[in-house]
Amino acid sequence: MLVALNVNDFLDRAATVYPQRVAIVDDPSAAAPLGELTYSNFESRARGMALHLEEMGVGQGDRVAIVSPNAAKFMISYFGVSGYGRVLVPVNYRLTSEEVQYIVDHSGASVVLVDPEIAEPLASLRAPRKIILDGVDDAELFAPAAPGHQPRVGTFDENATASINYTSGTTARPKGVQLTHRNCWINAALFGWHTTVGEREVFLHTLPMFHCNGWGMPYAVTAMGAKQVVQRKIDGEQILERIDRHGVTLMCGAPAVVAAVLDAGSARRDRGVDTPGRDRVRIVVAGAPPPSKIIERVGTELGWEFIQIYGLTETSPLLTVNRARAEWDELDAAERAQLLSRAGVPALGVRIATNDDGEVLAQSNHVFAGYWEQPEESEKALGDGWFHTGDGGYVTGDSYLVISDRKKDVIITGGENVSSIEVEDCLYQHPGVAEVAVIGVPDDRWGETIKALVVPRPGVAVDEDDLIAFCRERMAHFKCPTSVEMRESLIRTATGKLQKFKLRAPYWEGRDRLVSGG
Ligand code: AMP
């Protein structure tokens, strides 16, 4: 028998098995928070959303974009949109209006849901239908459906696209990663298994829900009927406070989140206040390899378990996982942290290889279907039967993948990808810039930060502050250089190509890896 996998299976199960359990505790700082929702209420609101979209004439396969920080309504949309045959397009809410417009246009979204906090900056956003999540404009969309009132869904195909997640990469514009129901389902099941998600879990949504559907963890914790606490913004002390109040057991984040939590923990200790969650919390980290000292501190200062994973939006994302194994029980904290600083061993069903160039390749059932309306880019990434990650790395004798370099022109800062080409394109619009190369340099707080090396145009006065301000007017702030260095020339090959690895080298001297998580 073949029963098509559907992301709605996760919510259906929880609503059947745990209808009266608290499913979601919304963040009270949202403009129109939903408070506490049971699984039964969560399910009826997702179904209600699908019914309302149907009434609005949003057809099967149509795209619905959402631009919002973490919120209960985001959770409902994972199921209310994707679960009933439409395609969710989660958008990074830090993007400028022009950047969001590109994604809305490129994905052909017929509806865009906008959090009230960003409604003003997105006031000029054009879309066939724009709905502000303010509790008024969206009141019908998020109203619970009557029991038994079922939306119409045609024959369901598990290879249909559940979401299109835009990610910055090797092109100036972000590409739309199409994740199918099958991709999301298998990733969630594996992720839940490898991190032992259970029904007693209390999950804190610290990872942005827009980022690869929160790595698919929202599906996994929903399936098990876990209590989920929404966190809109990263604030170390607020995270500790919620961990304490709700008995949180699990959370995910980039290394910058770990740094924020460790800082808040140190501040508490200075005040003689305990940190919560000792021997209870597991924190799953990816985006960049955190320094082993940070990993060690998670264990010694907070008493939490540190789990590293590696993957990309294109891989749903779970490719490898590094979780302390029984054999490491007798090691001291520093030795264990050293072993945990590697990306990890392949998750079940994942094949990892490296090519002659040292690029990491992957195969699995949860590698994406292709980039939305970009067949040539899809062919480049998937054409030879392997997914090309653009990361440089190697596999150790004990089968652990280590990410040691980046082959693609991408900078990862605070867990978000930035295309160097996009930043260079922006700087080239400035009349004072003759040549520019944008590179990532190590940074204690953000892992990497963006540096522009600029050859100024003779006769035009320009300085570092002008160029940074110029970028900040045109791009999301996390994409902007934090420093600019003026150069007389930039190193190029005989054919005139920029030699980025040579330009980066002096800033990474003395490090064994050319990627950094802080
Ligand atoms: P994204 O598609 O935005 O999730 O970014 C994926 C990229 O993040 C990968 O291609 C890597 O460059 C980087 N990345 C993710 N996890 C890790 C990790 N554990 N160690 C090193 N780099 C990572």
pLDDT at 154: 82
**pLDDT by residue (tens digit) across 78-105?**
999 999 999 999 999 999 999 999 999 9
Burial class (CB in 10 A: 0-12, 13-18, 19+), 421: middle
Q: What is the pLDDT of residue 120?
A: 97
| 414-444 pLDDT, tens digit each | 989 999 989 999 999 999 999 999 999 999 8
Residues 347, 320 contacting (CB under 8 angstroms): yes
What residue's CA is closest to ligand 1, atom 8? 287
Mean pLDDT over the full length of the chain? 96
Residue 362 forms beta bridges with which residues? 352, 387
CA distances from 342 to 170, 286, 390, 517 (A): 25, 11, 17, 12
Q: Give the per-residue pLDDT at 499.
A: 83
Question: What average pLDDT does the segment 270-277 reach?
Answer: 98
Is 64 within 8 Å of 109 (Cβ atoms)? yes
The pTM assigned to this predicted structure is 0.94
Best of 340, 403, 512 for a ligand 1 pocket test (most atoms within 8 Å of beta carbon): 403
The enclosing H or E element of 389 equals strand 387-395
Residues 304-340 as b or e (16 or more Cβ within 10 Å = b)? bbbbbbbbbbbbbbbbbbbbbeeeeeeeeeeebbebb
Please give the distance, rounded to the nearest whole angstrom, from the Cα atom of residue 129 to the centre of ligand 1: 34
Q: What is the pLDDT of residue 37?
A: 98
Ligand 1 centroid from CA 512, angstroms: 17
Domains detected in the chain:
351-406 (2.30.38.10), 410-508 (3.30.300.30)
CA distances from 464 to 411, 427, 471 (A): 20, 11, 11
To test the pocket of ligand 1, the residue of 312, 405, 406 to mutate (highest count of ligand atoms within 8 Å of its CB) is 312
User: Who lines ligand 1 at CB under 6 A?
Assistant: 167, 212, 286-289, 308, 310, 312-313, 317, 343, 389-391, 403, 406, 412, 417, 515
Based on its alpha-carbon atoms, the radius of gyration of the chain, rounded to whole angstroms, reads 23
**Percent of the chain clearing pLDDT 70 (strictly above):** 100
Q: How confident is the model at residue 211 (pLDDT cuts 50, 70, 90)?
A: very high
* 241 burial via Cβ count (<10 Å: 0-12, 13-18, 19+): middle
Residue 496 pLDDT > 80: no
Q: CA-CA distance, 328 to 126, in Å (whole number)?
A: 55
User: Which residue has the least CA distance to atom 6 on ligand 1?
Assistant: 312
pLDDT in tens, 303-353: 999 999 999 999 999 999 999 999 999 999 999 999 999 999 999 999 999
pLDDT in the model for residue 158: 98
